[in-house]
Each structure stands twice: as C-alpha cells, then as structure tokens.
Amino acid sequence: MGIDKEKEYLLKAIGAFQRRFIVVSPKFKILAANCRLNGTAESEVIGKCCHLIFYDRQEPCDNCAVKEAIAKRKPTLMPKPQNTLDLDEMPCYFAYPIYSGDEIEAYVSMDFDLPTRGGLEEKLHRSNAFLRNLIFSAVDGVIASDIAGKVLIFNDAATKVFGYSVDEALLYLNVRDIYPDNKAYEVMRNLRSDQYGGKGKLQSYQVDIISKNKEIIPIFLNAAIVYENEKEVATIGFFHDLREELRMKEELGKTQLQLLQAEKMSSLGKLAAGVAHQLNNPLGGITLFTKLILEEYDLEDGAKEDLNRILRDAKRCRDTVKELLEFTRQTRQLMRPHDINRSLTRTLFLLESQTLFHNIEIVKELDASLPPVLSDIQQLYHLFMNIILNAAQAMEGKGMLTIKSYLLPDGDKVCIEISDTGPGISSENLPHIFEPFFTTKEEGKGTGLGLSLAYRIVQNHGGSIQADSVPGNGTTFTIVLPVGSKKT
C-alpha cells in the first residue's frame, strides 16, 4: 500500500473515531481536529484557541491537560471528572507532546480515557520506586534471586553483612554461594516444606552464611519463594545479622555468672570466716599444751614423736585456717604499688625448684615497661601460685608453661596470661572451676579452693579473671588488673 493511501486511511480512522482528538500548538491554537465543534466544520476551527472554541473561555481551562503537559513536558492525565455522565461533556483530560527532533512541536489532546495506560505506567513506576526505596532502606539484608540463583536484588544492608558490593553481587554472586557447606540445598528444601511457616516460607530460621572474606556469620533468615502460576520463579530472603545479639547474650550470661559467683563467694566467705575463727582458738590450745607436755615431761622417744606429729598436724591446720582467712579477706590488705613482673618471677622462682616443674619448659614474655599495680603482694603470690600450680598439675609435670604480661591499650590495666599445654578443661567443668570446693582431683589431692581464692583475690583488686580452654589443647588464664595508682 502506498504511503499516501496509508495516511488517508489513518486520517479516516481518526475522523471516524467517536471521541474528540485534537492537535494544538503550545499556544493552544488548534492545528488539527477530528470533529465538528458546536456545529462548526473542523476546517473552520483550525487556528482558533481550543479553550475559546470548546468552552468559550479567553484563557486555558483550569483542568487543562495540555497546560499540565506543557509544564511537565510529558504525557499527562488529569483526574477524571467526578460527575460527568454524559460522554459528550467530557473535558480534554489527557494530553501528550509531539516532538520534532528535541523540540516539542505540538500537543495532542483527548477527551477519552484510552491513555489511562500512561497513568498506570506512571503509577507503576512510582510504586516500583517506592518498593525499591523500602527494600534499599531496610535494616536487614535483602537478597532476591531468580530460580537459578542469580542475584536480582541486593540491598545496602546486605552489602554490610556479606561484604560484596551491589555490583559484585548482581554480576557474579550466586545465592547458593552465600551458605557454607552446600547449606543452600537444605535451605531450599526447608523452604519448600511446610514446616517453617508454611510451604514456600521460612520464618525465623537460624542459619550460618559465609561472607566475602570467608567469615561465618550467624543469621536469622525470613525467606519466601515467589510463585507465578504455581511455578517457582524467584526467592527473596531477609537476613538479620545475629552477631551483636549473640555477643550481648554471651556478655549477659557471663555477667550473670559472675554475679552468681560473687554472691556464692560472699556467703561462703562469711561461713568460712566464722569456722576459721572458731578453729583458731582450739588449735592454739592444742599447740600450746602439746608443747607444754613435750617440755615438762620426760617422755619416751615414741611418745615424743607422736606429740611432734600432733604439732605438725596442728600447724597444717593453722595454715589451712590462715588460707581460709585469706580467702575470706579477713587478713588486712596492704595495697601498695607493686611490679607485677617481679611477683610473677618470684612465684616462679619458688616453684621451679619443685620436682613437679623439672620437666616443664617455662616461657616468659614479660613487658618490662609495665607500670606498677596497686596491690597486696601476698595476695598476688597466692593468685599466681594457685594458677601456675594448677597448670603444672594439669600437665602432670611435662609440657610448656607460657607467662605473658602486657599493658592493655587503654593504658590503665595490666593483663597477665598464664597458658599451659595440658589436657584443657571440659566445657561441662569450665563454668564451675572458680566455685569453692570444685575439684576434679582425687580425694586428698585437691581441696578445690585454689581458683576460688584466685577469683576472690582478683575481685579484691577490682580486676577480672577468665579461663579459656580447648579440651586437648591446653588452658589459658587471663587476669586483668587495674593499675589503680601511677605512684611508686
């Protein structure tokens, strides 16, 4: 068909169209029209202003779609008139520009709502932008992928959790690779089952993910499969990073444990102090009268030996009572600035001569620039002695003992680490080691008071003590003591 014929048909088609369809200049002059207007032939309306011809107005109408289209330079749909039932009464409420190159040459104005599609598109565009904003400003990581795992949406929060940039994720990441050990299949299987919030859904599902730098991160995942005509087309997941929550939970647990410990220690301390005082007097009596008998009577050697045994045992009892009093802080504290390295070295010096230590390699990494720590030297000896002895006993006299001291970055706390290469402490025992009378040693070999005393001493100094152990791989005790005073 020739081009002229085509044009002719097009013009006829527009002419036969039952609704008003006109082309106006940017000055509202009618350039073409498809209808008779107020009885005037279309040829006669050409060049006249539309508002004058249609509505007998000198100025463009208030609700003029062309006016809006001129202002916005794009297709414009005015709100549909509320109370116009008569189709002939419809105002021009849709207009769109016609371009000549980059310039707008004219506007088409219509009084029918075929072009509602344009409005819908704009609405769709707007609601898409809103959804995009919602997803991108979400606090949790949001990842959507197609059914092959190709990432389609990767929001800002996801970049923080996973460590990939949005571009990296969209171009190279497959959603299966964000789970370690092929866990993606397990996640998909659970998503398809109806056990986690219904078929196609996962609610509050805890899972580990692996970040770009290979860090395993615990996550709370809420996810869904997107279906189209019952066919899976995509998945969307909301990833909530659990690291901070778990850290806080652990911290809280530790604080609770410490509180419990402190409470136990204080009631036990009171009890022990009472018992110690009650024992001191009779022990004094036993010692005194045994000595008197030894001095005043001419006894056989066997009897003398027995009495000396009584004296030795009584002395041991008094030593234990002294320990108990120390333990319950009944001895007077003498707080003075002390060199921690020196007290560690002296404790080691006292212990090293014992056979238990002969086959233990001792490594000292002591920071010579430590400031003095306000402390009771006697208590410090007890503290280090108990921990070092435990380490040597755990290693059964063979292994490596490492003792480190250093200043913490804030500059007002000293840290002491005592590590051994012994069998470690099981996770069941670890929470109990600071409890008084907790021991795993055979009867007669341990009282279970060593670490509870250590705990109390560290507390008296306003510090903290902690044990970390990997069973089979040794134990490290970390003691943090505040410097307290910078004076020497």
379's tokens:
């208590």
Alpha-carbon distance of 191 to 319, in angstroms, equals: 66
For the segment 236-265, give every residue that binds Mg ion (CB under 5 A). Answer: none
Contact between 386 and ligand ATP by CB under 6 A: the answer reads: yes
Name which of 159 and 320 has its Cβ closer to ligand ATP: 320
- Number of residues binding to ligand ATP, judged by CB under 6 A: 21
* Stretch binding ligand ATP (CB under 6 A), from 109-117, 174-182, 296-304, 419-427: 419-427
Helices 243-296 and 301-327, axial angle in degrees (round to 10)? 150
Give the residue at shortest CB distance from ligand ATP: 450
Contact partner at residue 394 from Mg ion, ligand ATP, none, CB < 5 to 8 Å by partner kind:
ligand ATP
Contact between 399 and ligand ATP by CB under 6 A: the answer reads: no
> Do 76 and 95 contact (CB within 8 A), yes or no?
yes
Q: Considering the complex, what minimum distance in angstroms separates the CB of residue 467 from ligand ATP?
A: 7
> Do 143 and 175 contact (CB within 8 A), yes or no?
yes
Contact between 111 and ligand ATP by CB under 6 A: the answer reads: no
Contact between 419 and ligand ATP by CB under 6 A: the answer reads: no
Name which of 155 and 261 has its Cβ closer to ligand ATP: 261
Contact between 270 and ligand ATP by CB under 6 A: the answer reads: no
Ramachandran area for residue 311 (φ above 0: left; ψ -120 to 50: alpha; else beta): alpha
Name which of 51 and 382 has its Cβ closer to ligand ATP: 382
> Do 75 and 120 contact (CB within 8 A), yes or no?
no
In the stretch 450-479, what mask flags binding to ligand ATP with x, by CB under 6 A? xxx----------------------x----
Q: Considering the complex, what minimum distance in angstroms separates the CB of residue 450 from Mg ion?
A: 3
Alpha-carbon distance of 422 to 474, in angstroms, equals: 5
Task: For Cα atoms 258, 259, 263, give the angle at the middle one, nearest 5 degrees.
Answer: 115
Contact between 475 and Mg ion by CB under 5 A: the answer reads: no
Contact between 425 and ligand ATP by CB under 6 A: the answer reads: yes
* Stretch binding ligand ATP (CB under 6 A), from 17-25, 27-35, 442-450, 458-466: 442-450
Contact partner at residue 141 from Mg ion, ligand ATP, none, CB < 5 to 8 Å by partner kind:
none
Contact between 141 and ligand ATP by CB under 6 A: the answer reads: no
* Stretch binding ligand ATP (CB under 6 A), from 97-105, 180-188, 348-356, 433-441: 433-441
Name which of 90 and 348 has its Cβ closer to Mg ion: 348
Alpha-carbon distance of 52 to 442, in angstroms, equals: 111
Contact between 450 and Mg ion by CB under 5 A: the answer reads: yes
Q: What is the three-class DSSP state of 470?
A: coil
Name the residue among 246, 266, 190 with its Cα closest to residue 223. Answer: 190
Contact between 391 and ligand ATP by CB under 6 A: the answer reads: yes
Alpha-carbon distance of 289 to 294, in angstroms, equals: 8
> Do 47 and 29 contact (CB within 8 A), yes or no?
yes
Q: Please report the beta strands in 14-78, taking only residues with DSSP state E, as ranges in sequence order.
A: 21-24, 30-33, 76-77
Task: Identify the burial level of 287 via C-beta atoms within 10 angstroms of its C-beta, where 0-12 means exposed, 13-18 middle and 19 or more buried.
Answer: middle
CB proximity list for 223: less than 8 A, separation 6 or greater: 187, 191, 201, 202, 205, 235, 236, 237, 238
Contact partner at residue 328 from Mg ion, ligand ATP, none, CB < 5 to 8 Å by partner kind:
none
Contact between 347 and Mg ion by CB under 5 A: the answer reads: no
Name which of 37 and 389 has its Cβ closer to Mg ion: 389
Q: Which helix (H) or strand (E) holds 336?
A: strand 336-338
Alpha-carbon distance of 204 to 190, in angstroms, equals: 12
Contact between 447 and ligand ATP by CB under 6 A: the answer reads: yes
Alpha-carbon distance of 33 to 27, in angstroms, equals: 16
Contact between 326 and ligand ATP by CB under 6 A: the answer reads: no
> Do 485 and 416 contact (CB within 8 A), yes or no?
no
CB proximity list for 232: less than 8 A, separation 6 or greater: 147, 225, 226
* Stretch binding ligand ATP (CB under 6 A), from 63-71, 166-174, 321-329, 443-451: 443-451
Contact between 439 and ligand ATP by CB under 6 A: the answer reads: yes
Name which of 343 and 390 has its Cβ closer to ligand ATP: 390
Residue of 446, 464, 468, 480 that binds ligand ATP (CB under 6 A): 446
Residue of 145, 328, 390, 469 that binds Mg ion (CB under 5 A): 390
Contact between 438 and ligand ATP by CB under 6 A: the answer reads: yes
Helices 450-460 and 377-394, axial angle in degrees (round to 10)? 140
Alpha-carbon distance of 33 to 22, in angstroms, equals: 4
Residue of 106, 449, 458, 483 that binds ligand ATP (CB under 6 A): 449
Q: Considering the complex, what minimum distance in angstroms separates the CB of residue 378 from ligand ATP?
A: 17
Q: Considering the complex, what minimum distance in angstroms separates the CB of residue 147 from ligand ATP?
A: 53
Edge-to-edge strands, sheet with 231-241: 151-154, 141-146, 231-241, 216-228, 201-210
Contact partner at residue 422 from Mg ion, ligand ATP, none, CB < 5 to 8 Å by partner kind:
ligand ATP
* Stretch binding ligand ATP (CB under 6 A), from 83-91, 218-226, 368-376, 435-443: 435-443
Binding site for ligand ATP (CB under 6 A): 386, 390-391, 394, 420, 422, 425, 429, 433, 438-441, 446-452, 475
Binding site for Mg ion (CB under 5 A): 390, 450
